[in-house]
Copies of this chain bind each other. A is one copy, B any other.
Amino acid sequence: MENTDTLQKIHESAKKHFLANGFQRASLRRIVADAGFTLGAFYGYYSTKEELFHALVERTAQGILSCLSEMAATLNAIPDDLKLAGISEVFSEGMARLVDFLLKNKDEARLLLECAEGTRYENFLSEMMEQGLLFMAKATGRHELPLTPLAQKLLVQSYFSLLGQAVLLGDTREEILKTMKDIQSVFTDGIVHVLLEEPAKERNSLP
C-alpha cells in the first residue's frame, strides 16, 4: 500500500495552498515543504502539479457529475406522459442529495469551482451547467417556453451556480437548505408567472 501518511500530509497542505492562492499561484515547492517533505518526494507520487490537483478533486468531481447523471437517468425511466408531473420530485430529491454531497466535500467543491484556473477543471462549472441544461431540456421535452433560448440557458446556469454559491457561502446545513428552497421558489414562481402572463401560447410547460 502507498505511504498514506506522506500523501495525506501533502494533500492537506496542497488543499490549503490551492484554496488560498488558486492552482497557478500556489507554489509546488511551498506546498510540499509545508507538508514536511521535499519536491523529490512529491514526484514519487505524482508527475505533475496538475496531477496533484486532479487527485484532490477527482472523487468530488465524479460525485457531482454522477449525481447529475443519476437524476437524468431517473427522469429517463419515467414514461413520457408522466414526465412533467415527476420532474419536480426528481429534481428536488436530486438537488437535496447534491447539496448534501457538496456539503460533505466543501473544500473540494471550492477547489473545483473557484481555484481550478490553469487546470483541466477550469471549466467544470460550465460543464456542470451544460449537464443541467441537457437535463432540463429532456425534462421539458418539446414544450417551448416563452423565453429567449439565451434566457433559458442563463437561468438554468444561474440556478446551478446559485446552488454552488449557497453551499459555499452558507454556514449551517439548515441555512443552506432553506436558502436553496427560497431560491427555488423565486425561480419556479417567476417562471410560472411568466408562463401564465404569456397571452395566447401554451402554458403547461416548465423549465
User: Which of the residues B117, B147, B151, B184 comes within 8 Å of A206, measured between beta carbons?
Assistant: B184
Interface residues on A, range: 35 or more
Residues of B within 8 Å of A197, CB to CB, are 185, 189
Chain B residue nearest to A84 (CB atoms) is B206
Copies of this chain in the oligomer:
4
Q: Given A154-B165, A186-B187, A190-B186, A91 and B206 touching (CB < 8 A)?
A: yes
Name the B residues within 8 Å of A147 (CB-CB): 182, 186
Whose C-beta in chain B lies nearest to the C-beta of A182? B151
A-side interface residues toward B, CB under 8 Å? 22, 24-25, 87-88, 91-92, 95, 117-118, 146-148, 150-151, 154-155, 157-159, 161-162, 165-166, 169-170, 175-176, 178-179, 181-194, 197, 203-207
